[in-house]
Amino acid sequence: MFFFKTGLKPDGDDVQGHMRETIEDGLSHLSDEDLTAIAAYLKAQPAIRHPVRGLKSATATPSYDEW
Ligand code: HEM
């Protein structure tokens, strides 16, 4: 909810690019009820693992060959 309204991530970084526009022009104007429904849907999805470019986690292993 906080991210959808502000664009601020848990690490304090602010979101960039198209996602910033998505929040400023879209998500931040939705009702709390709609944002709660989006968050509930996302949290209900099973977690997936995949290589992430520019990895921040010290525990994950980058695998750029798979891109
Ligand atoms: C309900 C719709 C959406 C949800 C719930 C959502 C959620 C998110 C979240 C949680 C992140 C942060 C990922 C992270 O850094 O940990 C993110 C990033 C991003 N999203 Fe979305 N997103 C949505 C729609 C969109 C749309 C429509 C676009 C493109 C038009 C978009 C483009 C991006 C981009 C480019 C980033 C990376 C931004 C950055 O690195 O600062 N997203 N999104």
Could you tell me if residue 22 is inside a domain?
yes
- Domain of residue 7: give its range: 1-27
Could you tell me if residue 20 is inside a domain?
yes
Pick the residue whose CA is nearest to atom 8 on ligand 1. Answer: 19
Q: 61 CA to middle of ligand 1, Å?
A: 23
Could you tell me if residue 55 is inside a domain?
no
**Tokens at 7, concatenated:** 């664009």
pLDDT digits (tens, 9 = 90+) for 20-48: 999 999 999 999 999 999 999 999 999 99
Q: How many domains does the chain have?
A: 1
Q: What is the pTM of this model?
A: 0.75
